[in-house]
Amino acid sequence: MPRISCRIFFLLIFIFLPLSANESDKVTANLSALMQSNPAVELAAWVYLQDKGPDILSKRIAASENLTEKALQRRQKENPFGQLTDEYDVPVHTAYLQEIAAKAVRIRHKSRWLNTISLEATPAVLQEIAALPFVKKVDVLRTGRAPLPDTQIAPLPFGKPGSAEKTTFDYGPSLTQNEQMNVIPLHDMGLSGEGVLIASFDSGFPNLTHMALQNIDVVATWDFINGDSIVDDQEDQTGNDSHGTFTLGSLAAFQEGQVIGPAFGASYLLAKTEVAEYERHIEEDNWVAAAEWADSLGVDIISSSLGYFEFDPGEGSYTADDMDGATTIITQAAEIAASRGILVIVSAGNEGPSARSLGAPADGPNVLAIGGVSSAGGVIPFSSRGPTADGRTKPDVMALGSGVRTTSGIENNYITLNGTSFSCPLVTGAAALLLEASPQSTAAEIRMALRTTANNSPIFGGAPDDNQGWGIINAQSALEFLVNDGELPSAGPSLEIINAYPNPFNETVNIQYNLPEEGRLVVRVFNVLGERLATIYDRPEIPGVRTISWTPENTAQGIYLIAITANGETVGRKVVYLRFQSNP
């Protein structure tokens, strides 16, 4: 008994001994304070390493073998004249990891991008780790999650709102969220996100057998909370929640008359990174690990409806001064992802209307932060505002964040939700359509196109601000910006139909028109008796040269008139529909 008491006595002395000069330089002030206030509690910490050990060149060569061909192609597009791998791709040095693992209670994750190890250990062990010569810094893990939005289950069936009388698909209650971003013309062109790989990081993805989700191309899944490949809810496991299903549905669902996500034809990586039950340290390193995983698999876009700012008591919250694009762990990782050619799209947060209410990683310079608007186009009060701590304008762009239609966690049911959690995947879907149509475009070019052509952009007389950034995106204009090498087709002086081709046509006719000034554009089809056959377009439009298509359904062959009306003026063009029959 006396021997045990002596051991406890000397352990307490060790815990409360002041750090040596070398150790105190390595342990951050936040972690040091936490260690002193919780001397016997296991703490979660990041351990930053000095280097990645010897023989970096051969390690880089070996690291390239862990990247898929798609990942290498994406990097080649972003950096055509540079090296495709660097030290970020080299894993944490094995000898360092082994020595630290022998001391820690648990290793959570290791990050090759940040050259860090996240772990759990007592304050005494953290002091020992800080004293190791290859350790650069030891810091407390800090993370948090923006509140999930209130939900309201929509009754079935649900009537079809909006103004478009004829589109390729029946969008049902999801018409507004698609129409507001002007993605419907891209769907009408046959775009769906095919060939684009999107990673969704969220809290869980139950109910993937939902009728509107069951045909999604899911390439890979991983639960970074529990360490397995199952992202559905599991009994007695941490992190069961439906938020991932909600965000995925607004992005990728397809059920005509109910909900159509902008990128229903894309491929997906699903990562479970967020624990909804609490606000603890581990979610942030889960996100970093997921980003590295997605990068190695060749992801094109990361969509993340998570924000990091305030945390549970005792965890150590971020402040607005930390939102400088370089301080938080998750923002550092998001910026590294962007440097690899990944388009990172995140929610701005639900902490508005106060200024400087962004959550990380929305503060990243190369991260596209998405705020929320109402169906009428006004900024919703809870949408987080900028600027960043270093004075940059945020959010970047906007999409619907109120009354967004999506899939629920209940089998074959639907739900209406509020939050920038849903503005984010909507913009992600639009970006996927742009990348499908313009696969040579880089992530930086797509970010520029979305900002430049949004409705608060200077080219449309706007002035980007910290409430709405560059404004509501316009997917059709963004695509025109991309395919015209950064220029929008200039509008001529008068409304006109420039061309209709092919003419005669068998299946689809393309109508190229010029709109000289902003106004409501209506495109109708009439037969030779002057009877209206269809309205194929009816929505507000900005000036420019564009193309829309008409594919007749249950229509006899013959001569038809395409009439375009805007600002009180109407122009027309005759087209000939010939249904060519194949030989029996």
Of 451, 483, 515, the one marking the end of a domain is 483
Whether 356 and 207 share a structural domain: yes
Whether 179 and 259 share a structural domain: yes
**Residue 571 forms part of a structural domain:** yes
**Residue 583 forms part of a structural domain:** no
Please report the pLDDT score of residue 308 as a whole number: 76
Whether 136 and 162 share a structural domain: no
438 backbone dihedrals φ, ψ, rounded to 5°: -130, 70
Distance CA 236, CA 215 (A): 29
What number of other Cβ atoms are within 10 A of residue 65's Cβ? 7
Indicate if the pLDDT at residue 143 is higher than 60.
no
The two tokens of residue 559 are 């001569």
- Helix axis angle for 243-252 and 420-437, nearest 10°, is 40
Whether 229 and 319 share a structural domain: yes
Indicate if the pLDDT at residue 141 is higher than 80.
no
DSSP 3-state of 76: helix
Whether 224 and 358 share a structural domain: yes
Pairing verdict, β 532-541 and 519-526: antiparallel
Q: Contacts from 235-238 at CB under 8 Å and sequence distance 24+?
A: 238/275, 238/277
85 backbone dihedrals φ, ψ, rounded to 5°: -130, 155
Residue 22 pLDDT level (bands cut at 50, 70, 90): low
Instruction: Give me the chain's average pLDDT, please.
Output: 86
Give the residue numbers spanning the domain of 554: 496-577
**Residue 488 forms part of a structural domain:** no
Number of H helices and E strands in the chain, helices first, is: 15, 23
Please report the pLDDT score of residue 80 as a whole number: 83
Please report the pLDDT score of residue 144 as a whole number: 40
Please report the pLDDT score of residue 24 as a whole number: 62
Whether 404 and 535 share a structural domain: no
| For range 443-466, the mean pLDDT | 90
Whether 86 and 167 share a structural domain: no
Residue 282 pLDDT level (bands cut at 50, 70, 90): low
Distance CA 322, CA 319 (A): 5
Nearest alpha-carbon partner for 422 in 246, 197, 200: 246
| For range 24-43, the mean pLDDT | 85
**Residue 491 forms part of a structural domain:** no
Chain centroid to CA 193: how far? 14
Q: 152 vs 50, 246, 378, 409, 551, CA distance in Å?
A: 50, 12, 21, 12, 37
**Residue 584 forms part of a structural domain:** no
Distance CA 513, CA 519 (A): 14
Distance CA 293, CA 396 (A): 26
Indicate if the pLDDT at residue 459 is higher than 90.
no
Please report the pLDDT score of residue 547 as a whole number: 83
Higher pLDDT, 501 or 581: 501
CATH number at residue 189: 3.40.50.200
Residue 402 pLDDT level (bands cut at 50, 70, 90): very high
Whether 77 and 186 share a structural domain: no
148 CB-near residues (< 8 Å, 6+ apart):
243, 276, 419, 421
**Residue 431 forms part of a structural domain:** yes
Least confident of 143-157, 186-200, 262-276: 143-157
Distance CA 190, CA 38 (A): 59
Indicate if the pLDDT at residue 167 is higher than 70.
no
Under 8 Å between Cβ of 263 and 250:
no
Of 140, 162, 187, the one marking the end of a domain is 140
Indicate if the pLDDT at residue 23 is higher than 50.
yes
The two tokens of residue 549 are 């298509």
Under 8 Å between Cβ of 177 and 400:
yes
| For range 189-207, the mean pLDDT | 95
CA angle 75, 76, 78 (to 5 degrees): 65
Please report the pLDDT score of residue 142 as a whole number: 57
456 CB-near residues (< 8 Å, 6+ apart):
462, 463, 464, 465, 468, 469, 470, 471, 472
The two tokens of residue 485 are 């090498």
Burial per residue of 17-40, b for 16 or more beta-carbon CB atoms within 10 angstroms, e otherwise: eeeeeebeebbbeebbebbeeeee
**Paired strand residues for 398:** 371, 472
Please report the pLDDT score of residue 147 as a whole number: 38
Please report the pLDDT score of residue 83 as a whole number: 84
Whether 408 and 283 share a structural domain: yes
Burial of 9 (0-12, 13-18, 19+ CB in 10 A): exposed
Please report the pLDDT score of residue 312 as a whole number: 56
Whether 123 and 183 share a structural domain: no
Whether 461 and 571 share a structural domain: no
Nearest alpha-carbon partner for 525 in 266, 165, 236, 203: 165
| For range 213-234, the mean pLDDT | 94
**Residue 245 forms part of a structural domain:** yes
The tally of domains found in the chain comes to 3
Please report the pLDDT score of residue 443 as a whole number: 95
**Residue 242 forms part of a structural domain:** yes
Alpha-carbon radius of gyration of the chain: 27
Of 94, 119, 140, the one marking the end of a domain is 140
Positive or negative, the Cα torsion across 522, 527, 530, 533? negative
What single-letter DSSP state applies at residue 505? B
Whether 196 and 257 share a structural domain: yes
CATH number at residue 540: 2.60.40.1930
